């Protein structure tokens, strides 16, 4: 494993974002899912191309993209909002917790199994 | 008889006069010779006086001025006729001794200046690196655009500050510091861009997957940073600095073009001399005021790591074209280092063994991580982080439409029979029941 820090720190975040710290949109948070929408990646910066490669396989959360790219989340947001603006990716809010199975149902399943054994 | 006496006296007088005349003539001759000798000696003494004055007032100061490296231009003897004499040889010994001691003093001064600069620059470099680490941590920790904006500014200044210290330290014989893993050429150029003031004017045009070997990353970054800094500094703020990467037969060239004022003939000669690293011992006291460390530091690095740098061509935009030529020995293929590239990480490596789950497969995985419960945890499928924590794999687009199915799937893999599942659940139930029974019996006290 490459120790973090050996690789990091070569290309500084201000070069990645071209000096910007404010994302063009404020709709992204840690768990927002991003999905590649296609488009030409030729003219993109290496980091944006990496994002596109990562997102091509499915949806990823903002936090995960940041983790894979090994850049701070706030820097990732700047990149992602650029990509949303240019139409390369689309965002989707996370699955609402209401759709997840309720603890009560799980409890009932457990009780049912117990009753049978 | 008396007639003979005057005659005798006459002859005596004649002989006496003759002797006197002869003596006088000899005396004259001797005195003339002596006068000539005295005159010669006087002239000789005068010329030696002049010669030694010439040595003290002209030759030695000239020697002192010109420095130890070019004694050829120093003035010679004032009086040519003294050449080869004992005196001239002694004078030469004096001037040789003088220049040698001047040389030694210069070398000592250079040495101590270098040692002092090196030590202080190493300290500054260390501090800059430390600060960069804290800045990176802060950037990770604060998810706030305003804070980030400030941190970016600090980070930028810190990087430039680190580069300055680094260049001076390298010039004074230090190593470039920071060990890095092999990095792609594009990252190296952008890393160099990170360290200059006008980083936004630099445009990198490259789509190559060539990487630089680990030991050469930092030197090349520093070299390119110095060249970029020169390029940006000596061109109008509204122009751009273009960076191209040209693969060649036995290496790769990084070409940096600016649209600045360019270099004049003399500057090119001086730069070429410095960049060749031929001077070997760069005299840090003669780098001008303010000192120009950049080219000299590049020369040292190029000689040490075996790449070459030239600035003697004009760029198509009228400024300077700087070319860094990296021989194949310093290059490798990008993504060779594996662990860091995301594509090398994914399930492909770990997925195969645990997939056909069931007792045999799980036992096979178990020694990997004893604390893991293979039957209930899908993590063996995935790679793990540096800290040993399992990494979550991205969801497949199809899976996310049916979240409940995906969640339950790993809990009951198809390989496990109904009996196995029942046995496990049963054991769990029995365990909890017995636990509850024992604790309620003794009101929470341990079983005695």
| Percentage of residues of chain A with pLDDT beyond 70 | 87
Contacts of B47 (CB under 8 A, 6+ apart): B78, B79, B81, B82
Do residue B342 and residue A23 have CB atoms under 8 angstroms apart? no
Its pTM stands at 0.66
Candidates A2, A11, A95; nearest CB to B337: A2
Q: Is pLDDT larger for residue B442 or for residue B182?
A: B182
What is the predicted pLDDT for the residue at B74?
65
- Chain A: residue nearest B178 by CA? A6
Q: Computed over its alpha carbons, how large is the radius of gyration of chain B?
A: 45
> Does position B372 have pLDDT exceeding 60, yes or no?
no
Q: What is the pLDDT of residues B256-309, one digit of tens each?
A: 999 988 888 888 888 888 888 765 566 666 666 666 788 889 999 999 999 999
- Distance CA(A9)–CA(A12), nearest Å, equals 6
Q: What is the pLDDT of residues B122-141, one digit of tens each?
A: 999 999 999 999 999 999 99
Is B254 in contact with B189 (CB distance < 8 Å)?
Answer: yes
What is the predicted pLDDT for the residue at B321?
93
Which of helix, strand or coil describes residue B308?
strand
Is B191 in contact with B211 (CB distance < 8 Å)?
Answer: no
> Does position A12 have pLDDT exceeding 80, yes or no?
yes
Kindly indicate the confidence band of residue A43, based on its pLDDT and cuts at 50, 70 and 90. Answer: confident
Range of A42-46, A101-105, B178-182, B253-257 with top mean pLDDT: B253-257
Kindly indicate the confidence band of residue B21, based on its pLDDT and cuts at 50, 70 and 90. Answer: very high
CATH of domain B183-344: 3.30.565.10
Q: Among A30-34, B44-48, B61-65, B366-370, which stretch is predicted with the lowest mean pLDDT?
A: B366-370
Q: Is pLDDT larger for residue B181 or for residue A2?
A: B181
> Does position B215 have pLDDT exceeding 50, yes or no?
yes
Q: Give chain A's domains with CATH numbers.
A: 13-116 (1.10.10)
What is the predicted pLDDT for the residue at B390?
57
| Percentage of residues of chain B with pLDDT beyond 90 | 37
Q: What is the pLDDT of residues A66-91, one digit of tens each?
A: 999 989 999 999 999 999 999 899 88
- Chain A: residue nearest B188 by CA? A10
Q: What is the pLDDT of residues A44-62, one digit of tens each?
A: 888 898 899 888 888 889 9
Q: Check if A11 contacts B (Cβ < 8 Å).
A: yes
- Contact residues, A window 23-52, toward B, CB-based 8 Å cutoff: 23, 30, 35, 46, 50
> Does position B336 have pLDDT exceeding 90, yes or no?
no
* B71 C-beta neighbours (distance < 10 Å), count: 14
Helix (H) or strand (E) holding B326: strand B320-327
Across the A/B interface, how many CB contacts are shorter than 8 Å? 125
Is A90 in contact with A55 (CB distance < 8 Å)?
Answer: no
Q: Is pLDDT larger for residue A32 or for residue B435?
A: A32
Kindly indicate the confidence band of residue B339, based on its pLDDT and cuts at 50, 70 and 90. Answer: very low
Q: Give the closest residue to B331 by CA, choosing from B213, B191, B249.
A: B213
> Does position B191 have pLDDT exceeding 70, yes or no?
yes
Tokens of B433: 């029941």
CA dihedral sign of residues A16, A21, A26, A31: positive
Mean pLDDT of chain B: 78
Candidates B131, B139, B163, partner chain A, best to mutate (most A CBs within 10 A): B139
> Does position B353 have pLDDT exceeding 70, yes or no?
no
Q: Structural domain boundaries of chain B?
A: 1-55, 183-344, 346-391
Kindly indicate the confidence band of residue B81, based on its pLDDT and cuts at 50, 70 and 90. Answer: confident
What is the predicted pLDDT for the residue at B163?
92
Mean pLDDT of chain A: 84
- Chain B: residue nearest A109 by CA? B425
Q: Among A57-61, A107-111, B357-361, which stretch is predicted with the lowest mean pLDDT?
A: B357-361
């Amino acid at each position: 494993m490459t120790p973090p820090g050996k690789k990091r720190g070569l290309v500084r975040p201000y070069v990645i974002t071209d000096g910007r710290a404010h994302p063009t949109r404020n709709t992204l948070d840690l768990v927002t899912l991003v999905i590649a929408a296609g488009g030409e990646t030729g003219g993109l910066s290496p980091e944006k191309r990496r994002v596109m490669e990562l997102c091509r396989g499915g949806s990823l959360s903002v936090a995960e993209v940041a983790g894979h790219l090994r850049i701070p989340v706030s820097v990732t947001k700047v990149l992602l909002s650029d990509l949303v603006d240019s139409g390369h990716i689309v965002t989707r809010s996370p699955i609402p917790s209401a759709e997840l199975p309720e603890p009560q149902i799980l409890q009932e399943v457990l009780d049912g199994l117990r009753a049978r054994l | 008889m008396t007639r003979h006496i005057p005659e005798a006296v006459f002859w005596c007088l004649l002989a006496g006069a003759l002797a006197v005349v002869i003596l006088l003539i000899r005396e004259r001759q001797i005195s003339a010779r002596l006068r000539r000798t005295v005159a010669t000696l006087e002239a000789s003494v005068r010329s030696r006086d002049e010669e030694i004055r010439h040595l003290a007032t002209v030759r030695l100061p000239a020697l002192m001025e010109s420095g130890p490296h070019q004694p050829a231009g120093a003035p010679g003897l004032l009086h040519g006729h003294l050449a080869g004499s004992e005196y001239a040889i002694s004078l030469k010994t004096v001037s040789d001794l003088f220049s040698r001691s001047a040389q030694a003093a210069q070398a000592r001064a250079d040495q101590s200046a270098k040692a002092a600069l090196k030590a202080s620059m190493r300290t500054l470099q260390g501090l800059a690196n430390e600060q960069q680490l804290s800045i990176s941590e802060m950037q990770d920790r604060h998810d706030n655009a305003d804070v980030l904006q400030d941190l970016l500014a600090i980070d930028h200044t810190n990087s430039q500050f680190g580069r300055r210290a680094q260049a001076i330290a390298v010039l004074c014989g230090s190593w470039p510091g920071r060990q890095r893993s092999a990095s792609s050429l594009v990252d190296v150029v952008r890393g160099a861009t990170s360290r200059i003031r006008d980083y936004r004017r630099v445009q990198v045009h490259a789509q190559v997957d060539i990487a630089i070997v680990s030991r050469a990353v930092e030197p090349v970054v520093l070299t390119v940073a110095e060249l970029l800094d020169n390029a940006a500094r000596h061109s109008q703020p509204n122009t751009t600095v273009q960076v191209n990467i040209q693969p060649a037969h036995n290496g790769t060239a990084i070409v940096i073009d600016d649209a600045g004022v360019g270099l004049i003939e003399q500057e090119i000669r001086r730069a070429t001399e410095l960049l060749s690293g031929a001077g070997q011992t760069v005299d840090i006291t003669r780098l001008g005021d303010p000192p120009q460390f950049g080219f000299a530091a590049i020369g040292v690095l190029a000689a040490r790591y075996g790449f070459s740098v030239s600035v003697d061509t004009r760029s198509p935009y009228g400024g300077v074209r700087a070319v860094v030529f990296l021989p194949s020995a310093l290059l490798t293929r990008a993504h060779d280092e594996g662990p860091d590239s995301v594509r090398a990480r994914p399930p492909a490596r770990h997925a195969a063994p645990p997939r056909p789950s069931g007792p045999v497969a799980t036992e096979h995985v178990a020694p990997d991580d004893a604390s893991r419960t293979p039957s209930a945890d899908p993590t063996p499928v995935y790679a793990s982080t540096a800290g040993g924590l399992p990494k979550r794999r991205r969801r497949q687009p199809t899976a996310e439409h049916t979240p409940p199915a995906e969640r339950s799937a790993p809990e009951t893999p198809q390989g496990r029979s109904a009996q196995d599942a029942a046995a496990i659940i049963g054991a769990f139930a029995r365990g909890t029941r017995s636990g509850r029974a024992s604790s309620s019996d003794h009101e929470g006290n341990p079983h005695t």
